[in-house]
Chains A and B, each alone.
Chain A
């Protein structure tokens, strides 16, 4: 077992917040760890043979070839966020490399902790070499009292080589004053599989992201799953895009969105550029209090032989469902929470059980407080 993560100087409440974003400081169920607090890298190691977890700086010093992977799928000129991160003299963030044929059963955890009201910037590069299998859980959280000015700018570039697989599960647990701007993209090779999962059950001021997967290899697969709740003051502009280039490539974009008064924009775009490709986009939204769920599903087919579909539905909790459960003895709050829990229950194909359980546990915590 890898060593316990050096105990950061955190209050018990903040350690609890780390746990609620999927971070296991005991390392019992993790094979490696990266911990960045504000701009300080506290911990970076991996006990799994064939897999390296390095700080961005160290990785660049160690492997000259890594420069061919930096700012290649995300353009530094994309927007103000990427420009800000690209302009940093001391880039922060992590590089995770799963060398050829390696695999981890227990996930690597990456924790990005914001302790002060400032911009935290990271640039991450994640590579699964040929035949490698890499599972990562990324817990992004902050101190409970981080106020105005707190922001997180995160660039992530994923490279899934031929026959490789990456699952990346990101759990956000911010506060209502923090703004978050992830910018990520992935390039997927032949028979490669990329699973990207996003869970956010807690308030945040603003999240804006639109990760893009380019499925370049034949029979490559991408699945994006987002499970989010917008509290009254949250503004979440979320989306994902899959570009199907390789013959037989397929993508699935699944979203479950609940608003308790806040705004959720759920974008999705699948482009079928090659025959024999398939894509499906699904967004289900539930409005618990007046706010906004704005689903914008886009499917774009360019050739004969690409098959794309989408379904989107936004609605309210059905009274007959609540009363059905009440007739079984659950009170109204229990019945409501049970139905919402079911609505958020997305089983992700190909995700290791430990990670599925982690996602379920994060949603269970939200259920206990009545969502």
Chain B
């Protein structure tokens, strides 16, 4: 599904990602762990195609196609989607109006989808204006439900979400990633950034990576990596080499 080769990325004049290699197969969900400022969000924004992130070397292949130089909307149209940790507030733009704009199905029942993530009363509200942390995440999930990407990147889906809503988020994300299907029939893939790991209690994942100083330094079983990090902190975790 996603294949990243020797990727180097600059923000402004500074290189922030160095020699990233990552391979995510169809049906797999990977976890990206790492301390604050290690470059996790930068990687996601680069894969999505945000213009602030300049790829200086390497390439990104999606479903076998080179998307390295494509604009964000071209990547989105090919099936890449993202749940933002801190999406912008857009004054005057109603959530319902955006959902209609991104919907590609005729007569899609947007209200019913919104109800399923308890966002039906937000359709006439300006996007993210005065939304709580949990409401922002539910709005993001709702947009992804309508966008229905094949590869979903989730940047801290549990941050700002209370415990009661984490299970709702987990279930909605699980459904987006076809976790209800048998692994053989699963076509959707994902990449999740998490600090706390709470979301992993609700979302089955296949493989973990640890990022530090703009490099992926460690791979392995996500639960084991998380356990090590919880016990020893990132410093020691990075000194060890899984696999």
Known A329-B73, A344-B92; contact A323-B102, beta-carbon cutoff 8 A: no
- In the complex, how many angstroms separate the beta carbon of B51 from the nearest chain A beta carbon? 6
List chain B residues, Cβ under 8 A from A334: 101
> A84 at the A/B interface (Cβ < 8 Å)?
no
- In the complex, how many angstroms separate the beta carbon of A199 from the nearest chain B beta carbon? 15
> A353 at the A/B interface (Cβ < 8 Å)?
no
Q: Is A324 touching B76 in the complex (CB atoms < 8 A)? A: no
In the complex, which residue of chain B has the Cβ closest to the Cβ of A340? B92
List chain B residues, Cβ under 8 A from A321: 88, 90
Provide the bound-state CA to CA distance between A284 and B126, in Å: 16
The tally of residues in A whose CB lies under 8 Å from a CB in B reads 25
> A80 at the A/B interface (Cβ < 8 Å)?
no
Interface residue tally on B, bucketed by range: 20 to 34
- In the complex, how many angstroms separate the beta carbon of A212 from the nearest chain B beta carbon? 28
List chain B residues, Cβ under 8 A from A284: 91
> A320 at the A/B interface (Cβ < 8 Å)?
yes
- In the complex, how many angstroms separate the beta carbon of A61 from the nearest chain B beta carbon? 48
> A319 at the A/B interface (Cβ < 8 Å)?
yes
Q: Is A328 touching B93 in the complex (CB atoms < 8 A)? A: no
Q: Is A329 touching B77 in the complex (CB atoms < 8 A)? A: yes
Known A319-B51, A325-B98, A342-B126; contact A331-B91, beta-carbon cutoff 8 A: no
List chain B residues, Cβ under 8 A from A323: 50-51, 72
> B48 at the A/B interface (Cβ < 8 Å)?
yes
In the complex, which residue of chain A has the Cβ closest to the Cβ of B90? A321
Q: Is B76 touching A342 in the complex (CB atoms < 8 A)? A: no
List chain A residues, Cβ under 8 A from B94: 342, 345
Provide the bound-state CA to CA distance between A2 and B112, in Å: 42
A sample of 17 inter-chain contacts (CB < 8 A) reads: A319-B51, A323-B50, A323-B51, A324-B84, A325-B101, A326-B72, A327-B72, A327-B73, A327-B82, A328-B147, A329-B102, A330-B101, A331-B73, A338-B97, A338-B98, A342-B92, A342-B93
Return the 10 tightest CB-CB contacts between A and B, nearest first.
A342-B93, A342-B92, A326-B72, A329-B76, A326-B73, A345-B92, A328-B102, A327-B72, A331-B73, A321-B88
